[in-house]
Amino acid sequence: MAVADQLELQLQHGTIIAGKWKGGRYRIERLLGEGANGKVYLVESRGRRYALKVGADAVDLQSEINGLQALARQGTPREEPFLVEVDDFRDGRGHEYPFYVMRYVRGKPLADYIAKEGPEWVPLIGYHLLMRLAALHEAGWVFGDLKPDNVLVAEYGRAQLVDYGGVTAIGSGVRQFTEVFDRGYWSAGSRTADPQYDLFSFAVLFIQLVEGKRLDELTRTLLPHSRVPAELLRLAEDHPVLAPARGWLRRALQGEFGSAREAAASWQRELHRARVARPAGSGPRWLGGLFVASALLLATTIFWLVR
Amino acid sequence: MKQILLITDGCSNVGVSPVVAAAHAQSEGVAVNVVGVLDEGDIGEYGAAEIREIAAAGGGLSRLVNTRELSRTVQMMTRKTVMHTIQSAVHNELRHVLGEGSIEALPPEKRSDVVRVMDELGEKAELRVALLIDASASMKPKLQAVEEAIKDLMLSLQARQGKSRICVFHFPGSRHGEDCRRLLDWTDKMSEIPSLFAKLHMQGTTPTGPALMQVIDFYREDDYGRETREERMG
């Protein structure tokens, strides 16, 4: 028996995926992304769009699905179910692959969203993300592999978590992580899944969003024994966006928040204060112009009325 | 669960074939993983093939990486091999019960139950990893990264719920004619790892096969010691 490796399968636009057990039929539209356990495609079935994840290894994918199912059982009933179907299919060469179908989350990757809509969305996106983590933690799970690739942002900064391959029961060893966002990599604690693990990754993610280049340089030049949270905090010094959040970042990096909910509340307070402290700029110039125009219009109306 | 993790950068050139040695390991329930560390140098077609064959014979994984990827690779391989060992055992069980030997043959609902049990075993089973480090001259600039990878592995193992220990061997040994030497006995403590290779005297030959045989022996003695201890206790 061979150990399964990277998924080499490539599905072309228009390919029909037919479920072996449940008989569902899904037409491939395009590749959405690639995670550690497989590839995610946008598919269409009976006029609706879904995201479909194909795995290389039935066990790896199934254990990811188990996490999702446990989450679904604890999920809020008003939300549409995230996990739609679990099945296998056979490709043209007779090779079988496991797959699961989930709700299609429309959104942009985090970095793209910020690049397009501007950094002023960061505090709100961060808040949404922290609340998502809080819900996950309160259900007994840790996300694990938190990084920009695993966050999609829908309209008005509504952040969603995607790729649940790293989801780990609290108390177990984190199943999947990415070095730069890993607490152990920065000598800041264990790899045991706890809410603070995700909050640490969140802090690095935040720094990476704003200071990606300098963070990259840091990881390239620092020797392993000097990879410590203090180095991450140094990036926040004197930075227009990060400096106001320094206190928050320090607490997240040192594992001082009791829960994601507490961290979210503190995030709101600190980043709000930062916004208030920003020099009060005048509104957009066109608004001023509009005001002048409407005042003129009003004056004209009154002139005609009283004439 | 027992694993050997071999980290090397070249071909064996002394003694018994490492592929034969790895097959021995597997027959005794020890899985052998192999990492080839490249960096500037080229490991050569022959070296790459040997690494692949050792892992195949040892029922483990093989990878060719540069030092920057070493920690990540070692961590991932160890974890995957734990799951693989459990999977093989489960396959055997399934064959007994169902006459069919694979998890893939189960419908998704049943698969879900089986995988849940496997995940729990993977998290809780006792695990021992013997690291076998190539200390031939060309490895010298890479030993710092090897040490970091060992520390990183320890960090991941400490996060497991089951008891996990590592030990470290290097080959060739420090004395002339010595195939292999133990640097660190079974431990689960991070504090015992630092500057493992500081005083290591690097030599020329690469007795990969004989070194593997010695580590298998070490496992055998450890298990024997444990059995006799248990007998005395009982």
Q: For the residues A49-76, what does the mean pLDDT come to?
A: 86
Question: Which of A59, A78, A103 corresponds to the end of one domain?
Answer: A103
Whether A293 is in a domain gets the answer no
- The residue of chain B nearest to residue A20, with distances taken between CA atoms, is B107
Position A27 scores a pLDDT of 97
Residue B55 is assigned to a structural domain of this protein = yes
| Tokens 């704003």 -> residue | A210
CB contact under 8 A, B84 and A3: yes
Contact A190 B155 (CB under 8 A): yes
Residue A244 has pLDDT above 90, yes or no: no
List Cα–Cα distances, B184 to A16, A135, B77, B150, in angstroms: 55, 44, 21, 12
Q: Are residues A72 and A139 in the same domain?
A: no
Considering only CB atoms, A58 lies closest to which of B103, B151, B155, namely B103
Domain with residue B35: its CATH number is 3.40.50.410
**Does the distance separating the beta carbons of A172 and B161 come in below 8 Å?**
yes
The answer on pLDDT for B232 being more than 80 is: no
Q: What's the rounded Cα separation, in Å, for the pair A86 and A212? A: 37
pLDDT band at A1; cut points 50, 70, 90: very low
Single out the catalytic residue among A145, A163, A182, A194.
A145
Q: How many domains does chain A have?
A: 2
Residue A262 sits in a domain whose CATH number is 1.10.510.10
Q: Which of A46, A69, A103 is the last residue of a domain?
A: A103
CB nearest to A192's CB, from B88, B111, B159 = B159
Mean pLDDT score of chain A: 86
| Range scoring the smallest mean pLDDT among A16-30, A89-103, B126-140, B169-183 | B169-183
Q: Which two tokens stand for residue A166?
A: 């790293």
Chain segment B20-40, per-residue pLDDT in tens: 999 999 999 999 999 999 876
Calculate Rg over the CA atoms of chain A: 24
Helix (H/G/I), strand (E/B), else coil: B138: helix
Chain B nearest-CA distance from A225, in A, is: 9
Chain A residues touching residue B81 (CB < 8 angstroms): 3
- Crossing angle of the two packed helices A195-221 and A122-138, in degrees rounded to 10: 130
Q: Is the pLDDT of residue A191 over 50?
A: yes
pLDDT digits (tens, 9 = 90+) for B71-115: 999 999 999 899 888 888 888 877 777 666 678 888 888 899 999
Is residue A2 one of the residues assigned to a domain?
no
Same domain? A114 vs A81:
no
Is A53 labeled as ligand-binding? yes
Question: What is the distance between the alpha carbons of residues A186 and A222, in angstroms, rounded to a whole number?
Answer: 10
**Pair A113, A95 in one domain:** no
User: What confidence category does residue A3 fall into, taking pLDDT thresholds of 50, 70 and 90?
Assistant: very low
What's the structural domain count of chain B? 1
The verdict on B14 touching A (C-beta cutoff 8 Å) is: no
Q: Which of A1-10, A234-243, B123-132, B212-221 has the lowest mean pLDDT?
A: A1-10
* Other CB atoms within 10 Å distance of the CB of residue A265: 15
A190–B116 CB contact, under 8 Å: no
Residue pointed to by tokens 């509340």: A265
**Domain interval for residue B214:** 2-84+127-233
**Closest CA of chain A from B71, distance in Å:** 9
Q: Decide: helix, strand or coil at residue A95.
A: coil
Per-residue pLDDT tens digits for A103-131:
998 899 999 999 999 888 999 999 999 99
Q: Are residues A259 and A118 in the same domain?
A: yes
Which residues 6+ apart lie within 8 Å of A246 measured at CB? A233, A236, A237
Averaged pLDDT score across all residues of chain B: 89
Confidence of residue B124 (pLDDT cuts 50, 70, 90): very high
Q: What confidence score (pLDDT) does residue A249 get? A: 96
Q: Please, is B120 exposed, middle or buried when counting C-beta atoms within 10 Å of its C-beta (0-12, 13-18, 19+)?
A: middle
Nearest to A21 among B84, B108, B148 (CB): B108
Q: Is A145 a catalytic residue?
A: yes
pLDDT given at position A239: 84
- Which residue segment(s) compose the domain that A154 sits in? 108-277
Residue A295 belongs to a domain: no
CATH classification at residue A73: 3.30.200.20
Q: Which of B70, B81, B84, B100 would you mutate first to test chain A, the one with the most A CBs within 10 A?
A: B84
pLDDT tens readout for residues A248-306:
999 999 999 999 999 999 999 988 776 655 444 444 555 555 555 566 555 655 555 55
Does A98 sit within 8 Å of B158, measured CB to CB?
no
Mean pLDDT of B4-30: 94
**Would you say residue A129 lies in a domain?**
yes
For A209-278, give the DSSP string. Answer: HHHHHHHHHHHHHS-GGG--HHHHHHHHTT-TTTGGGHHHHHHHHTT--S-HHHHHHHHHHHHHHHHHHS
Task: Report, as an integer, the average pLDDT of A14-24.
Answer: 95
Phi/psi of residue A100, each to 5°?
Answer: -140, 155
pLDDT value of residue B65: 92
In a domain, B215, yes or no: yes
pLDDT beyond 60 at B52: yes
Q: What was the pLDDT predicted at B53?
A: 96
pLDDT at residue A237 tops 70: yes
Q: Do A63 and B91 touch (CB under 8 A)?
A: no
Q: What is the DSSP letter of B180?
A: -
| Residue whose structure tokens are 């070490």 | B218
* Average pLDDT of span A196-208: 97
Asked if residue A129 and residue A54 are part of one domain, the reply reads no
Residues 6+ apart with CB under 8 A from A133: A143, A146, A161, A195, A198, A199, A202, A260
Residue A219, domain member (yes or no) = yes
Residues A187 and A68 in one domain: no
Query: Is-contact B169 B131, C-beta < 8 A?
Result: yes
* Residue B132 within any structural domain of the chain: yes
Contact between chains at A86 and B123 (C-beta distance less than 8 A): no
A120 and A88 within one domain: no
**From the list A59, A87, A193, which residue is nearest B83 (CB)?**
A59
- Residue of B227 and A126 predicted with greater confidence: A126
- The reply to whether residue B161 touches residue A173, judged by beta carbons under 8 angstroms, is yes
Residue B108 belongs to some domain of the structure: no
Q: What is the CA radius of gyration of chain B?
A: 18
CB of B155 less than 8 A from some CB of A: yes
- For B223, residues 6+ apart whose C-beta sits below 8 A from its C-beta are none
Tell how many helices (H) and how many strands (E) occur in chain A: 8, 11
Distance CA A124, CA A274 (A): 13
CA distance B9 to B17: 16
CA distance B212 to chain A (A): 22
**Secondary structure of A271-302 in HEC code, one letter for each residue:** HHHHHHHCCCCCCCHHHHHHHHHHHHHHHHHH
* Contact pairs from chain A to chain B, CB under 8 Å: 73
Residues A273 and A207 in one domain: yes
- Rounded to whole angstroms, the Cα distance separating B86 from B96 reads 15
Assess if residue B225 is contained within a domain. Answer: yes
Q: Is A59 on the interface with B (CB under 8 A)?
A: yes
- Side-by-side strand order, sheet with B2-8: B62-65, B30-37, B2-8, B127-134, B164-171, B181-187
Instruction: Classify residue B117: in a domain, yes or no.
Output: no
Report A:2-21 residues touching B (Cβ under 8 A): 3, 21
Whether A47 and A135 map to the same domain: the answer is no
Same domain (yes/no): A141, A266: yes
Considering the domain architecture, whether residues A78 and A118 belong to the same structural domain is answered as no
Q: Using the 3D structure, point to which of A79, A103, A127 is the last residue of a domain.
A: A103
Q: What was the pLDDT predicted at A68? A: 86
> Considering the domain boundaries, does residue A182 fall inside one?
yes
Q: How far is residue A214's CA from residue A234's CA, in Å, rounded to a whole number?
A: 11
Pair (A150, A99) in one structural domain:
no
